[in-house]
Structure 1
C-alpha cells in the first residue's frame, strides 16, 4: 500500500490546493495484511479522526512526517492513502459493529421501561430506519465530495478522509461549518459527562466507593492512558476492551434467554411515553461519525459502502432489541419500578451479575477512550493554531522538563476536556440521564439528523445536471428525514420545558 502526504485544501473550487491551518486527520490503522476491526462509538468524532498507521520501511520521509504528527507539530495537511488495495466489506461491517455498541445501551432499558416492550421495540425500529437513511445520505455526500476533490486536484487519490465539518462547510458554507463545530463541542462535553457520571454509579455499586470519587478515578485512568500511553498503546488497549465487551454482551443475552424465560409482548404499553425514549435510542444507535472513514476505507466505492452500512447497522440494532427485551421482561417481574440493568445485575445466573458490571464498565471505558482521543485533538489543534508555546529551552532542559515541554499541549488539551466534564458530573444529580438526553435529543440529532439532508439538498441544487441516483437526490426523502429530525429536537425542547416548569 502506498501512503501519500498532501496539503489540505479547504475549498474544492480552486485549481490548486490552498494550504490552510486546517485540522489534520490520521487514517485507519492497518497493516499490509490486516483489516481494522475495532473501535467503539465516538472514536471517530466528526473532523478529528484519531487513529494510527503502521508504516512499512525504514528511514522514510513518511515516518518522519508521522513522528512530527505524534509530537503535535502543526502540519496543515491531511493524510491520504492511495494504491490498488482497498478495504473489505467485512472489515467495514466489523468497524460499524464495534463503533455502535457503547454506553448508550446502559441507559436504554431505564428510558424504555415506562413505555413498555412493544412501543419501545417499534420506536427503536423506526429510529434505526431513520438513522440508516441519514447514514446513506452522509456517505453519498462524502463520496461526491471525494470525487470532486479528486478531479480538481488531478491526482490519483483512492483513499482520503473528508470530515463532516468539511462536508458542512463545502455544501452549506461557513455557517454550516460553524454549526457543525459548535454542535460537536457540545456533544463532546455532554458525552464525557454521561460517561463519568455512569462509571461512578457502577463502581459505587461494585465496591462501595462514593460515586463522585469513583467517577473521577475511572475517567482519570483513561485520561492518563490517552495522555501518557499515546495513540498506539491506546489503540491496542481499546481493541482488547471492545472485543471483550462484545463477547460479554453476547454471553449475557444468551444466559438471560436461557434462564430468564420470555413472557412475550404482553400488554399494549404506554405510547405517550415513547417521545421521551427517542433521544437515548439515537444515542445508542449512532455510528455516523464513522461515515467519512468508511468512505475512505472502501475507496469511495458507493456500492460497497452502502452494503457495509446496511449490514453493519443491522447487528447492533438486533443486539439492542434483544437487550431491551430481556431487561424489560425482568422489570415486569419486579414488585416496584427499578432500573432494568440494575435488576439484571441482581440475578444469580452463573455469574451474570459480574458479567453485567464488567460489560457496563467496558462499554463506558471504550466510549471514554474514543471521545477523549477525538475531543482532545480538537482542543490540541486550537492550541497549536492560536497560541505560541516557547520551546527555546528544550535543548538545555533536564529529561523531565524536556518530556513536559514535548507533551504539554496534549496534557493541556486533555485537561480542557475532562476538567469541565468532571465538575458537572460530580455536582449535578443524575447527570448520566440528562446528558444522554441532551446528546441524543439535540447534538446528535442536529449533527447527524438535520445537517445531512440539508447538505444533500444544497449539493443537489449545485449539481442539477447530475443524473446519478441515490437517496441524496430524492427530495421527498430529504424533506421527510429532515422534518423528522427537527421534530425530535422540538419534542425534546417541549419535554425539557415541561420538566423545568414542573
Structure 2
C-alpha cells in the first residue's frame, strides 16, 4: 500500500537562466543574498511503498534559510534558546494568582486540571507548528505568521477574524505588561510613570529590535534563570508550614471553574511561528522546544499551587474565596520584594515573546519582505501599547466587558476566538 507524505527537500539544481543572469548583473553581496533566498527548501509530495527499503530514500542535506542579510552568515536558532523563549513567554506574573482560583478545588484536583490543560495546550501548539512549517514549504520562505497560515486554511472571514483577535489580544497584553512594569519601576526608582514605561519599552523593545537570535536567546535565558531563582526564594519563604492533610483536600466538583484561568496561563502559541523560523522548519526541534519549554511553567505552577494550598487548611470545598498571596504578604515582610522581582522578570520575558510574535505578524500582515522596513514594523508593534498604557491602561478591559455581551467578559473568551481561528481549518 502506498503512503503519501509531505517532505521538504532543498533545491539542488542550479538556478534558472533568468535568475542566474539577474544575479550576475548585481553586486557580489546581492548575488549571495539572492542566491541564498533562491535556495530555500521546497516541498514536494512523494509516494513511498511500504516494501521500499529506507536506504533507497534520497539522503539530502537541508540548506539553511536563516541568513543574515547584512553579513550573509548563517545564523541558526538553538533549541535551548527556543525552550527559554517558550518558557519565558508562558510564565507570567499571573502564575502567582493561580492558587486564588484553585483553592476551592484543592491541590489534587487542581493538579489534575493543570496537567490536562498543559497537554491540551501542547497539542494546539504542535498543530500550529505543523501548519506553519507546511505553509513555509508551500510559499518557499521563512517568517510565515498567522496571516499566511489563516489564508491557507480559513478563508477570507477566518483571516479577518484571526487578525482582529490576534491584534486585540496582543495589544491588550502588551498594554498590561507596560502598565504593570512601569508601576514596579516607579515604586523602585521613584521616577514618573511615563519615564518608567518608556524605559521598559526601550530596554526590552530595543533588545528585540537590535538583538540577534543569539543575543535575544542569551538574555531571555538569563531572565528565565532569574525567574526560577526568585521563584525558589519565594517557595522557600512560603513553604515553612506545609501540611500533608491540606494537600490531600480535594473537591473535583469545583475544578472546572478554574480551567479558563489555568489554560490561559499556558498561552505561548503566538511564538510558535517564531520558533519555526528560528529553527528553520525542523519540526523535531520545534516539538522538543514546545514540550520542554511548557514543562518548565508546568512544574512552577504545580509547586506554587502546592506551597500555597498546603499552608492554608480547610479551603477545598469551603466556598470561601480568599487571596492566599495577600495573606502571605501580610504574614511575612520579605514576600513583597520577592514578588515584585518575580513579577518584573516574568513580565519582561513575556513581553519579549509577544513583541517577537507581533512584529512578525505585522510584517506578514503588511506584506513586508523579510528584513525590510523593520523600523516601521517595530514602530507599529511598540508604540501603541506604550501610548495606551499611559493614556488609559483599562481600555482593553473595557472592550472585553463589552465583548461579554456576546458570551463572556473574561480574556479567555476572546482567546477562544483565536483558538478557533487557529484550528478550525487544520484537518
Give yes or no for TM over 0.5.
yes
* Residue in structure 1 matching 2:416, options 445, 457, 481: 445
* Residue in structure 2 matching 1:223, options 189, 196, 201: 201
Distance 2:132 2:380 in 1: 32
Q: Deviations along 1:58-98, whole A, 9 cap, x unmatched?
A: xxxx3289xxxxxxxxxxxxxxx9x6x85554443333223
- Relative to structure 1, is the Cα distance of residues 438 and 100 closer, same or farther in structure 2, using a 3 angstrom cutoff? farther
- Relative to structure 1, is the Cα distance of residues 113 and 224 closer, same or farther in structure 2, using a 3 angstrom cutoff? same
- Relative to structure 1, is the Cα distance of residues 144 and 382 closer, same or farther in structure 2, using a 3 angstrom cutoff? closer
Q: TM-score, normalised by structure 1?
A: 0.57
- Residue 225 of structure 2 corresponds to residue 243 of structure 1: yes
1:207 Cα deviation after fit: 6.6
Q: Which residue of 2 aligns with 1:456?
A: 426
- Residue 95 of structure 2 corresponds to residue 105 of structure 1: yes
Q: Which residue of 2 aligns with 1:362?
A: 345
Distance 1:433 1:246 in 2: 34
The size of the alignment, in residue pairs, is 354
Give 1 or 2 for the bigger CA radius of gyration: 2
After superposition, residues 119-130 of structure 1 pair within 5 angstroms as 119-130=109-120
Distance 1:142 1:427 in 2: 32
Distance 2:33 2:314 in 1: 57
- Relative to structure 1, is the Cα distance of residues 125 and 237 closer, same or farther in structure 2, using a 3 angstrom cutoff? closer
* Residue in structure 2 matching 1:416, options 384, 387, 395: 384
After superposition, residues 367-446 of structure 1 pair within 5 angstroms as 367-372=350-355, 375=358, 414-425=382-393, 440-446=411-417
- Relative to structure 1, is the Cα distance of residues 305 and 134 closer, same or farther in structure 2, using a 3 angstrom cutoff? same
Distance 2:192 2:276 in 1: 39
* Residue in structure 2 matching 1:309, options 264, 287, 290: 290
After superposition, residues 88-103 of structure 1 pair within 5 angstroms as 88-103=78-93
- Relative to structure 1, is the Cα distance of residues 380 and 418 closer, same or farther in structure 2, using a 3 angstrom cutoff? farther
Higher mean Cα deviation, 283-292 or 365-374?
365-374
> Does structure 2 retain, via aligned residues, the 8 Å contact 1:196–1:216?
no
Q: Which residue of 2 aligns with 1:265?
A: 247
1:248 Cα deviation after fit: 1.5
After superposition, residues 75-154 of structure 1 pair within 5 angstroms as 87-150=77-140
> Does structure 1 retain, via aligned residues, the 8 Å contact 2:99–2:324?
yes
Q: Deviations along 1:391-432, whole A, 9 cap, x unmatched?
A: xxxxxxxxxxxxxxx979966764422333444436899999
Distance 1:90 1:181 in 2: 30
* Residue in structure 2 matching 1:186, options 168, 174, 179: 168
- Relative to structure 1, is the Cα distance of residues 95 and 216 closer, same or farther in structure 2, using a 3 angstrom cutoff? same
> Does structure 2 retain, via aligned residues, the 8 Å contact 1:168–1:451?
yes
- Relative to structure 1, is the Cα distance of residues 371 and 215 closer, same or farther in structure 2, using a 3 angstrom cutoff? farther
Structure 1: tracts of 5 or more residues without a match? 14-52, 56-61, 66-80, 151-156, 386-405, 458-502
> Does structure 2 retain, via aligned residues, the 8 Å contact 1:115–1:270?
yes
> Does structure 1 retain, via aligned residues, the 8 Å contact 2:208–2:356?
no
Q: Which residue of 2 aligns with 1:278?
A: 259
Q: Which residue of 2 aligns with 1:21?
A: none
Distance 1:432 1:135 in 2: 25
- Residue 293 of structure 2 corresponds to residue 295 of structure 1: no
Distance 1:193 1:199 in 2: 10
- Describe the SS at the equivalent of 2:425: helix
After superposition, residues 54-69 of structure 1 pair within 5 angstroms as 62-63=69-70
Distance 1:310 1:230 in 2: 24
- Residue 302 of structure 2 corresponds to residue 321 of structure 1: yes
1:241 Cα deviation after fit: 3.5
Higher mean Cα deviation, 216-225 or 186-195?
216-225
> Does structure 2 retain, via aligned residues, the 8 Å contact 1:283–1:439?
no
1:255 Cα deviation after fit: 4.6
- Describe the SS at the equivalent of 1:456: coil
1:190 Cα deviation after fit: 2.4
Distance 2:303 2:174 in 1: 27
1:161 Cα deviation after fit: 2.6
Aligned-residue RMSD, C-alpha: 4.6
Distance 2:100 2:377 in 1: 40
